[in-house]
Amino acid sequence: MANQPKDNSEQPSRGLHELYAEDPIKADELVWSRETDEGSRRGFLKRGGLLAMATAIGASIPFAKNMPAGLIPAAFAQSSEPFSLPGKEGLTVLNDRPLNAETPPHLLDDEITPAKHMFVRNNGLIPDASVLDPASWTLEIAGESCEKPTTFTLAELKSRFKHYSYQLTLECGGNGRSEFAPAASGNQWTTGAVASPKFTGARLRDVLEACGIKKDAVYIGYYGADLHPSGDASKAAISRGVPMSKALEDETLIAWAMNDEDMPVLNGHPLRLVCGGWPASTSGKWLKKIVVRDKIHDGNKMASPSYHMPKYPVAPGTQVPDEDMEIISSMPVRSLITFPKTGITHQLGEPLPVRGHAWAGDLEVSDFYVSIDFGTTWQKAELRAPANRLAWQHWHSELTFPEKGYYEVWARAVDSEGQAQPMVVPGWNPKGYLNNACHRIAVQVV
């Protein structure tokens, strides 16, 4: 990369990401003097804008005519320009349009994840704050298998239905994607697209039963207020769902609070769906509508390969036919070491406390082990019961080291059906989902 782009606005101290977050089309004009076709919102109408961007990148852009408006070039996606997320601390931004950010494992050490450390995962654009008004917010319940379609205000949901609070683990289906080879497309999540806050709301089951569920109902689907990246209001950014069996579980909530406070804007304020233990994409944010379906929901991101896995093991790089893919349901057993932080130096002869969390989708974690010899032998760790079903579980142990040198601490959880985390990356799949390989940290003993 030859040069960083220049901000030629009247506020030169503002960062590139900040400009694009406020108004991406205006940012195109300020940073690159770029104008795009009104109809397609692609390309460069004037060569000057293209030259400015190509100069900054240090190379020509052969397919510039296809480049969407308001898009920060990926070459600058990891720019050191100042960029902060409102209400968040220490997250690593992977992409800013749509916004996606993960949490380093040592910042997930709290037993209940604080809002400031909950990851952000989007397929579309976050709604403008001006439309996220709890006083006027409504939720529509509809669909061909709903007997009495009804629209509730948020106040009616809070007053008509009993409130429930659960600590629930949400994990992105692509968490750990960065370890697959060959690389899968999409944000290269490492380990931090997981969190376990406390959610409060009404049970989805209670709301659906109040509207009447027809006998032929098999699935629910959701729609939110987030915008499709193209800006086309007729398209849903994402509209996923779950089978009725999951929708009617006690812990599946229509939630308006997280950790006893209003839901954070970046995590779905003022209302979201929470389906703990399943890919977080089933827990729709900025929730506006739920449909009860007489078939598997067919919203955006429900079709293969999105959130699908091969029905059988495949060789890395295999093109898998759609008919040989199946929808991801419960997430696999997995764990994190949240203390200490990788790369520490430790004194020989002193015990090293280590701790973290483990979770297993719809199941519980039954056993936990740690290793300092690359998985040759394992030491059993103490494991606590979950705060409630679908909450992650805390583990801890103390380690001693035989001599000075470099060690890796590996962590491995076993679920209540006997399935253990693999020590290496599990079977490859086209979208890089469900990598539940053992987490490990580096320790230098001196």
- pLDDT, average across residues 187-193: 94
Is residue 247 within a helix (H) or strand (E), and if so which, with residue range?
helix 244-247
User: E strands, 69-197, where?
Assistant: 92-96, 99-102, 138-142, 150-153, 163-167, 170-171, 194-195
pLDDT in tens, 132-151: 999 999 999 999 999 999 99
Picking from 314, 286, 332, 276, the residue whose alpha carbon sits closest to that of residue 431 is 314
Tell me: pLDDT of 412 over 60.
yes
User: Is the pLDDT at 80 greater than 90, yes or no?
Assistant: no
- Above pLDDT 70, what percent of the chain? 89
**How far is 353 from 396, CA to CA, in rounded Å?**
7
Asked if the model's pLDDT at residue 77 lies above 60, the reply is no
* DSSP SS3 for 372: coil
The per-residue pLDDT for 21 is: 63
Q: What is the pTM of this model?
A: 0.83
DSSP state at residue 301: T
Average pLDDT over every residue of 173-183: 94
Q: Please state which of the ranges 184-188, 258-262, 319-323 shows the lowest mean pLDDT.
A: 184-188
CA torsion sign, 239 to 127 to 121 to 250?
negative
Nearest to 141 by CA among 289, 336, 14, 4: 289
β-pairing, 287-293 with 138-142?
parallel
Task: State the Cα–Cα distance between residues 218 and 205, nearest whole angstrom.
Answer: 14
